[in-house]
A and B are shown apart, each in its own frame.
Chain A
């Protein structure tokens, strides 16, 4: 056994989980799918007194529509995100992104809530949540609050959740007429971390971009909205000149750092290439 010793508690409800966390005085770690927590234990990157397993809590499961908003329970596994017809119809970007998350066996266990809570800047789902302008339903001792995706991801592995809070569900705004979604990433091998990836949610009306949100991942410390590129596109006809302008605008949006595996200039180049492809695809999808 490679992990440090820890206790294991199966939470019966969100209230039970919150209470258990508090009783552990900062020494507890929540366990969802476990596909980031367990390797971190095996590598002895953390040594909690106890794991609090959230997998048996009914309130964290299920996918439902409420007043047009799609509510995706935090314990929804990646494979379910890929296969669920409600997600396909009401949160199409998640449907498109799910097959890119790791490998099939990982997708059978990993959860959407775990991925969003971890906030790995190379992960697909945080960028999708940004592009969809989704909201996070967060439970704590003071009750439940909703946090907009734009305010949720703060830094590498850092979110707006306080220690001990639990992400209960992801809420996706109602689908609008003319909504189109495109997603892609550039990776050396399917399932590897992307060198750069992007999620685009747009509303196209008679060839013009009525509204658009673009979120990149793997280009910085957190998933990033490309606000300048969005401005270059909003209201414009989706032609070659507009796409070129949006690609140029990315320089103002993205600030990757130089890394041994990849200089920042290469990552910027790949981001422009990817955006060009996605916008071209958007033109043919709309």
Chain B
């Protein structure tokens, strides 16, 4: 069985024919060559495959492509090219919040969603939000620092616009 699906990915209308068993993650990576969405555990434990579905972070490995029909998807490529997370990316770089980088795209998607919902999170809230994102390199401290720094920078930019 194959099914025709239409959805919006990073602002572009996409139409493809897929098997129902194809995950959204495989669809993004293999059909659309959007390989910034990483596949780690493929069972919802590691958080490397997070994308925004209807504006909310979800595991692309746990959503079937056919379930995303008619929906809006944003991946790390879309967030990156739009400049929406440029400051977050810079903060990760400044603070050495990545080493191998495998988890980073999922971290970015989640941090972006967190700061959208809660612009001034406590460190404990940042840790709670990242509880489903595994990083085996950094020990998390630098990642929490980078997200915390981004939140503070955004708040100060709002108070004192350049």
Contact = CB atoms under 8 A, between A and B. Distances in A.
B67 A189 contact: no
A105 B19 contact: no
A39 B62 contact: yes
Counting chain B residues whose Cβ lies within 8 A of the other chain, the interface size class is 20 to 34
A103 B22 contact: no
Interface stretch (A5-13, A205-213, A230-238): A5-13
Contact of A105 (B3, B21, B132): B132
B26 interface: yes
A5 B57 contact: no
- Say whether chain B's binding surface is mostly helix, strand, loop, or mixed: mixed
Contacts of A1: 19, 21-23, 26
Interface residues of A, number: 30
A2 interface: yes
Contacts of A8: 1, 3, 20, 64, 66
A38 B129 contact: no
Most chain A C-beta atoms within 10 Å of own C-beta, residue among B21, B26, B57: B21
Contact of A5 (B19, B50, B58): B19
A190 B3 CA distance: 38
A35 interface: yes
B76 to A, nearest CB: 14
A41 B21 contact: yes
- Which 4 A-B residue pairings sit nearest by Cβ, starting from the closest? A103-B132, A8-B20, A191-B131, A39-B43
Given A35-B44, A106-B59, A108-B57, 7 more contacts: A4-B21, A8-B64, A39-B44, A41-B21, A104-B57, A105-B50, A108-B53
25 contacts: A1-B23, A1-B26, A2-B42, A3-B21, A7-B1, A7-B20, A8-B1, A31-B67, A35-B59, A38-B64, A39-B42, A39-B44, A41-B21, A42-B23, A42-B42, A43-B43, A79-B56, A102-B44, A104-B57, A104-B131, A104-B132, A105-B59, A106-B44, A106-B62, A106-B132
